[in-house]
Each structure stands twice: as structure tokens, then as C-alpha cells.
Amino acid sequence: MASDIVSKLGEGVTSASQRPRSYTLWIKIGLVAALLWILFGTVLVDMAHDWWTEPALSQGMLLPPLAIYIAWLNRSQTLKYVATSDRHGLICIALACCLFLLGKLASEFFMMRFAFVLVLVGLLWTYWGLPRLRTLAFPLLVLTTMIPLPVMVYNSLAAPLQLMASDLATRIAQGFGVSVFRDGNIIQLAGVSLGVAEACSGLNSLSALIVGSLLLGYLLCSRTASRVVLFAAAIPLAIVVNILRVAGTALLADYNQEFAMGFYHSFSGWLVFVAGFGLLYLCARMLRALLEREQIA
């Protein structure tokens, strides 16, 4: 009887001693979250505004919840390592702060947004250690893809892709016997002119398919080589599918202008993504069968 009372008293003292520790932990988390919001609150709000107002960036709204969900699914793999503090993570945090200051001075949003992800990496490294950080590499990579490309990079890629899409689409239409010629990024048909605008350059579908290649590689492929090949295949695949979209618009415009400029033009953006994602899935299955045959066996 006395031993039971003593054991219960010991359990009560242990639980009471653990409560201040839990409170201290939540206070530390709250302080770190408050500091992050003070530094990056405006940056994150501006990025969320871009996701909401720019259709080409709307996939960014899905990426943070997706990254958190993937990390939650793999929590057992992460938590099997003991959390150990590592001061090397402070170097990563310092680099992120310097990058944030440079982006602030240069008014470069990409640098400030990337600094946020880099700070998260540094915090995880500092408080949890490198073994746990490695298990979170893929969710952090997915989180990085939520950041839109820098304006200079986007503009430098958009113009060549516009010209390539208009040139090859014109050649495809001519191969089908359509009377058409190209003037820059303008496809001139007999009764209508089609302008290959910046939105038709393929960069929008490229960013979405790159994210799709990362997810398919993570779900279907187990080797790093297969995932790298799938990621590289997403780039030409997105360009080719977009060229076929522009060529299809030209062919339909020669046959029925209202249909080509109405329903098809609105629907073709989704069609490009679905077709590209389906082809990426087939590529992932082929890579799994060819490069991972020994591991499957």
C-alpha cells in the first residue's frame, strides 16, 4: 500500500516537472515563429498575393500544405533519429539573413523568398541536427518550388520559348497543308492572326510539370538516378506539349476560328498539363522498369 502511494507520488512529481519543460518548449517555438513573422511576414503575404492573383503561379498555394503533409507521413523516419543541437546550422541561418538583406537592398523578391526557406533549413539543422534534416530534404525541396522565378530569368526564357513555339507550330501546320507563315511570334493564317503571347511560351506548364516530376519521382522511383532523369525529362516534355498546343490552335483556327479562339483556347491550358502529367507518369514507370529492375527483383 505504502509502495503504491510512493509510486503515485513519484509519477505526479515527474509529470509536474515535465509540464514546465513543455511550456518552455512552446514558448521557444512561439518566439521563433514571432521572429520569423516579423522578418518574413510581408514577404510571405506578397508571395501569397502573387499566387492568388496570377493564374500561372496558382499551384504555389498547394505546395506548402503538400510539403507539410509529406513531412507528416514520414514523421516516423524523422523521429527515429535523436534530436541533437548542431551549431553548424547557425551558419546557414547567417547566410539566409545576409541573402535576405541583399534581396531587401536590391528589391529582389526571389532572394528574400528563398532566404525564408534557407532559414527553415538552418533552424531544423540547429535544433534537430543533420540526420533529421536529411529526412526532410524532399519536403523542403517541394517548399522551394513555391517560389516564382526571378523576373529577369522569366523574361529571358519567355521570349526564346515564344519564338520557338511559334516557329515549330508554323512548321507543323504547314506539314498538314495549312497556308500559314510566321512573322516573329505572330502566326499568320488566311483569315486570322495568332499571337503567341508570353503566357503561351510554356513556362507556366513547365513549372507545374517540374513539380509533378518531383512528386512522381518521389512516389514511383526509389533511386536518385531515376528521379534526376525524370526531372530532366519534364523540361523538354513541357516544351514539346506546349508546341503541340500552339500547333493545334493554328490548325483549328484554319478550320473554325470561333472554336479555336473560344473553348479550345480556354481549355487547352488544362489539356497541356494533363497530357504532360500523363506522359511524365509513363516516363516514371519506364524508368522504374529499366533502371530499378534489380532492386524490384
**Is residue 179 within 8 Å of residue 190, measured between CB atoms?**
yes
Residue 237 Cα distances to 11, 169, 217, 257, angstroms: 62, 15, 15, 28
pLDDT tens across 273-292, in order?
788 888 899 998 888 888 76
Q: Are residues 173 and 248 in the same domain?
A: yes
In whole angstroms, give the CA distance from residue 215 to residue 143: 12
3-state secondary structure of 188: strand
Which phi and psi (to 5°) does residue 283 adopt?
A: -65, -40
Q: Are residues 17 and 132 in the same domain?
A: yes
Q: Are residues 268 and 174 in the same domain?
A: yes
Classify residue 296: in a domain, yes or no.
Answer: no
Q: Are residues 137 and 184 in the same domain?
A: no
Classify residue 297: in a domain, yes or no.
Answer: no
Q: Are residues 168 and 98 in the same domain?
A: no
pTM: predicted TM-score of the whole model, two decimal places: 0.78
pLDDT tens across 219-251, in order?
888 888 888 888 999 888 888 888 888 887 777
Q: Are residues 167 and 189 in the same domain?
A: yes
99, 115, 144 - which closes a domain = 144
81, 112, 144 - which closes a domain = 144
Classify residue 295: in a domain, yes or no.
Answer: no
Burial pattern 51-61, b for ≥16 Cβ within 10 A else e, equals beeeebbebbe
pLDDT tens across 203-220, in order?
777 888 888 888 888 888
In whole angstroms, give the CA distance from residue 246 to residue 166: 7
Q: Are residues 61 and 123 in the same domain?
A: yes
Classify residue 276: in a domain, yes or no.
Answer: yes
Q: What is the pLDDT of residue 5?
A: 44
Q: What is the pLDDT of residue 14?
A: 46
> Number of structural domains, the chain?
2
Nearest to 194 by CA among 268, 263, 261: 261
Surface-to-core class of residue 249, CB atoms within 10 Å of its CB (0-12 exposed, 13-18 middle, 19+ buried): buried
Surface-to-core class of residue 2, CB atoms within 10 Å of its CB (0-12 exposed, 13-18 middle, 19+ buried): exposed
Q: What is the pLDDT of residue 259?
A: 59
Q: What is the pLDDT of residue 265?
A: 60
pLDDT tens across 91-145, in order?
999 999 999 999 999 888 999 999 999 999 999 999 999 999 999 999 999 999 9
Q: Are residues 171 and 211 in the same domain?
A: yes
For residue 284, what are the domain limits? 151-290
Q: How far apart are the first and last CA of the chain?
A: 60
144, 163, 186 - which closes a domain = 144
| Residue of 218 and 180 predicted with greater confidence | 218
Classify residue 66: in a domain, yes or no.
Answer: yes
Q: Are residues 12 and 137 in the same domain?
A: yes
Q: What is the pLDDT of residue 48?
A: 92
Please report which confidence band the pLDDT of residue 267 belongs to, taking 50, 70 and 90 as the band edges.
low
**Among residues of the chain, what percentage have pLDDT more than 90?**
28
Q: 175: which 3 cell numbers?
A: 506539314
Q: Are residues 79 and 157 in the same domain?
A: no
Please report which confidence band the pLDDT of residue 90 belongs to, taking 50, 70 and 90 as the band edges.
very high
Classify residue 203: in a domain, yes or no.
Answer: yes
In whole angstroms, give the CA distance from residue 42 to residue 242: 35
Q: Are residues 140 and 182 in the same domain?
A: no
Nearest to 276 by CA among 217, 226, 249, 236: 236
Which phi and psi (to 5°) does residue 145 adopt?
A: -70, -10
Q: Are residues 138 and 171 in the same domain?
A: no
Q: What is the pLDDT of residue 200?
A: 67
Q: What is the mean pLDDT of the chain?
A: 81
Mean pLDDT of 82-90: 90
